[in-house]
Amino acid sequence: MRARGAIAALLFAALLVPGAARADEPRPPPSAAAVDQAKRLFDEATEALRVGRFADAVKALRASFDLVPRTATAFNLAVALRGTGDVLGALGLFDRLLSGELGALDAAKRAQVAELRAEVARDVAAVTIAATGAEAVEVRLDGRILGVTRGEPITAKVNPGAHRIVASAPDRETAERALDVAPGASPTVALTLRPARDERPGHVVLGCADAGATLSIDGVGSARGQLERDLAPGEYQVRVRTRSGERKVRLVVPAGRTVKLLLDPPSSSAAASPWLWVGVGVLVTGGVVGAVVATRPRKADPVTDPFWGVTSTAYRF
């Protein structure tokens, strides 16, 4: 990042701008103790910059600027921010310096700031995010909400380096993308949200006209007369056994629903109801005297973003 040239410019500015005050608003003059502390922090930051400890320099210069706002301190802080990779932060400070907000600059210093600003501006990257798969998609960049898109791309200026993009919407699986952005690059990221899988258990109640019949669900359990279980959504093999034999029923259990089935014992005629659809997403084949799907709404557990911890609650039926 041209650190050597930037630090040379820093030293030049430190010598020639001994103490210009901000011009944005009047403020009482700092105390002697504040001035001494600000100078000590400024000197610490200068040494940190000489050896490339940019993060330490940023911390010290921010503290110094808060105590005694000076154009030299602001300039050096911009140089330090650039050294950490925060070119957006550096660009913002250079713009404030050029606007006169932080104090007057003579022609030579203004030219120096303008030159460094142009170098920093070339390193600013821009990421365009196109998120689809839902009517409204919330887009986050590094945990910060960029906005909600309804099909239109969202573009954001970013620092070069590693970033994480997260797109989310109700009833959709969260889409994430890690991205390493080069200085001055303008990548486009396309994210498609898929429908979320509903993992809530369904509730199944099995009964039989023959109270002595054994009802069973393969891999789950069995009982006489009536069998009631919470089951994960999916397909199951149901059996009813009496002394007369056994009958099988294939059952598809939907998420978050209560399914009640009255099964024919093996002695009954299967021709009366060879197969039928029951409700939404429930398929029953085999001997069935009657079947009822009772909607039992359940509040879904909060859906938590695995990376950023964004939580929302949805009601699904």
pLDDT attached to residue 303: 35
59/79 Cα distance (integer angstroms): 13
Task: Give the residue with greater pLDDT, 267 vs 311.
Answer: 267
Give the Cβ contact number of residue 286 at 10 Å: 21
Q: Which of 21, 20, 23, 63 is nearest to 43 (CA)?
A: 63
Task: Give the residue with greater pLDDT, 315 vs 100.
Answer: 100
Q: Residue 142 — very low, low, confident or very high, per pLDDT cuts 50/70/90?
A: very high
pLDDT attached to residue 277: 33
Give span(s): CATH 2.60.40.1120, the chain. 125-192
Architecture of the domain defined by 3-122? Alpha Horseshoe (1.25)
Mean pLDDT of 82-95: 96
Give span(s): CATH 1.25.40.10, the chain. 3-122
pLDDT of 276 higher than 50: no
pLDDT attached to residue 148: 96
**Partner residues linked to 245 by β-bridges:** 242
Q: Residue 196 — very low, low, confident or very high, per pLDDT cuts 50/70/90?
A: confident
Mean pLDDT of 127-148: 96
Mean pLDDT of 83-96: 96
pLDDT digits (tens, 9 = 90+) for 207-226: 988 889 999 999 999 999 99
83/48 Cα distance (integer angstroms): 11
User: Are the C-beta atoms of 197 and 171 separated by less than 8 Å?
Assistant: no
pLDDT of 302 higher than 50: no
Architecture of the domain defined by 125-192? Sandwich (2.60)
**What token pair was written down for 118?**
């142009």
Cβ within 8 Å of residue 22, ≥6 positions away: 69, 101, 102, 103
Cβ within 8 Å of residue 61, ≥6 positions away: 41, 42, 45, 73, 76, 77, 80
pLDDT attached to residue 119: 96
63/288 Cα distance (integer angstroms): 78
User: Are the C-beta atoms of 236 and 261 separated by less than 8 Å?
Assistant: no
pLDDT attached to residue 224: 93
247/266 Cα distance (integer angstroms): 6
Task: Give the residue with greater pLDDT, 178 vs 197.
Answer: 178
pLDDT attached to residue 262: 87
- The fold for domain 202-298 equals Immunoglobulin-like (2.60.40)
pTM of the model: 0.61
pLDDT digits (tens, 9 = 90+) for 6-65: 454 454 444 334 444 444 456 788 899 999 999 999 999 999 999 999 999 999 999 999
Q: Give the percent of the chain with pLDDT over 90.
A: 64
Q: What is the mean pLDDT of the chain?
A: 81
pLDDT of 307 higher than 60: no
User: Are the C-beta atoms of 23 and 105 separated by less than 8 Å?
Assistant: no
Mean pLDDT of 72-86: 96
pLDDT attached to residue 266: 81
What is the three-class DSSP state of 290? strand
Mean pLDDT of 277-291: 41
pLDDT attached to residue 199: 84
pLDDT attached to residue 7: 53
